[in-house]
A and B are shown apart, each in its own frame.
Chain A
Amino acid sequence: MDSHLILEKIDSCLKDAKKHGLQKKGLTFPIDPALVEDDELRDICSRLASFFDMLNEAFHYSEQLAQGNLQVNASRANIFTMSLKGLHASLTHLTWQVNQVAKGDLNQQVYFLGEFSNSFNDMIDSLREKQILEQKLKIITDVLGEGLFLVDSDGKIIFSNPEALKLLGYTFNEIEGALIHIGIFKQLPDGTIFQPGENPLCNAIQIGNDYNESNGVFTCKSGFMIPVMVSSRPVYKNDTLDGAVITFRDITEQKKNLETLETINRLLEKQALTDALTGIHNRMKFDKILTSEIQRAQRNNSILSLIIFDIDHFKQVNDTYGHSAGDNVLIRLTRLITCNIRVIDFFARWGGEEFVVLSPGTGLDGVIQLAEKLRGKVEGYNFKEPGKITLSFGVTTFHDGDTDTVLINRADNALYRAKESGRNQVQYN
């Protein structure tokens, strides 16, 4: 076989390859070197045949790499595959890097792989920032003074912060996957279990609504209930409802404080309307009651009477026996009067040694009798110091159209007359 024929056969083979590609069978060297008689030509054909083989292998190798097969190999002596081997190594390394990222390893950087490196390292930087944000969020949930649950759209608990576990007495393993509306938020403060479909938290989670309850109860692992203020907000993943974040606060102390505050307020209100020395109503309270009783009498056309009395020569008691003795007189006097009036009569300290009795449903005769009775009781009572005291009374009854001031002035005028007339007596007006 001469050189011309050899070149023709090779040329034909190459033309065919150029036209149809290498296809699966690849390039086949068209001459069997063993059939070439000339030594030099035979050696050339052998080398060309080996180059054809290397090209076929490089073609197959690159095809496999293009399909993502990283297990493929190429022979070491193949000079056409060397750069492909570099690419192969890079792809294998990138695969490892991606797996590391999937495992949470964000420390690896890719070096000297051109745009691959830039993209990968940018992605790592972005994930690191996200990781830092997640760490910050975790710290926030850890130190948050409120319980926090993350639930899926069925209400299954996916995450809880330490405070939630502490408040309810669970470990996370014990409540992971539990439905929050079955085990934890399942009843009203009076112990009534929510009927199916009526649990408001469950409904809010499943529909994707906000939910706020300032007077709910959560059930602890122990079975005890704790009063809670609870809020729920829906969370979305790719615009699809993905569950909710639920926060809750134990309001046991808050409730106790509220109760204490209410008690204090009631006490303060009572103090504001009570005479500190004698414990009976003070003038402020009397003014309120007088107004309402006048309105009632006016409205119902009912009778209403008023007594104003004061202790005769009380200044002498204070001057002679001291203010402490004077105070004791006032205290004993109020007890004595209280015991001798009706429950519906309203007794108050008007100021100093002056007192008032408002007596609904009592007419002039009745109120004079009442005043006389009180006068007599006090006159006959033995006060330790100064022994005996007397009272002067002014009484009056409500007339249609009377105002508070008019009624009081009339009784006061009567009292003045009682004083002027020698004290220890009842005068009416």
Chain B
Amino acid sequence: MKDVYNFNWDDLGDLSEGRPNLGGETSVLVYRLMQFTFKDIFSKELGKKKTLELFVKAGNIAGKEFCINILDTSLQFNDFIADLKEKLVALKIGILRIEKSDDEKRQYTMTVSEDLDCSGLPIFDESVCDYDEGFIAGIFEEYTGEKYNVNEVDCWATGDRTCRFEVKQVEN
């Protein structure tokens, strides 16, 4: 067995062949079950801070791969955002809505409603969409070739009905 695993999009397999009856979709419950049990065990093994770091990093890889394999990176920015919104709805990942955009500074405020990670959770004192932060950053980084910082400022789990992310390009 190899010591290190490098993710490859093809590793997701051929779902039409592998799940001819059940198809490519599953319940959000199962997704969350995996997410939160990972979080449980990682935090105990590695500590909470490290766990959250790893979730962001994993999300970042997912975002980049999603961008490469699902999105059309040849589009102009506004068209690309429209495509991203459409694909997130089509794949039932969440409803992306932009609230503010500054194309010059490359700074955006966006919300993701009905997202996979936190919608409907009981109210905690902290935001929980660490994986989503990495996912959004990964998409922007892959599309622009620049480094992005994504910070969740509001979350269902903190008492807001939507998750709100501040997306900023990291100055070189």
Contacts and interface: CB of A to CB of B under 8 A. Distances in A.
Interface of A: 75-79, 82-83, 85-86, 89-90, 92-93, 95-97, 100, 105, 107-109, 111-112
Interface residues of B, number: 24
A96 B85 contact: no
A86 B99 CA distance: 13
Nearest to B159: A76
Contact of A96 (B95, B100, B160, B162): B100
15 contacts: A76-B159, A77-B123, A82-B159, A82-B161, A85-B154, A85-B160, A89-B97, A89-B164, A93-B97, A93-B99, A107-B79, A108-B81, A108-B98, A111-B89, A112-B114
Given A96-B99, A105-B78, A77 B159 contact: yes
B95 A112 contact: yes
A79 to B, nearest CB: 8
Contacts, number: 67
A107 B75 CA distance: 11
B39 to A, nearest CB: 21
* Chief secondary structure at chain B's binding surface: mixed
Contact of B161 (A83, A93, A108): A83
B159 A89 contact: no
B60 interface: no
A83 B113 CA distance: 12
Interface in B154-170: 154, 158-162, 164
A97 B159 CA distance: 25
B160 A109 contact: no
A285 B123 CA distance: 113
B159 A109 contact: no
B95 A111 contact: yes
Given A92-B99, A93-B99, A111-B95, A85 B82 contact: no
Nearest to B98: A96
A29 to B, nearest CB: 22
B111 interface: yes
Given A85-B161, A112-B113, 8 more contacts: A76-B158, A85-B160, A89-B97, A89-B99, A89-B113, A93-B97, A100-B101, A109-B82
B113 A86 contact: yes
Nearest to A70: B99
**Which residue among A75, A107, A109, A112 has the maximum number of chain B CB atoms within 10 Å of its CB?**
A107
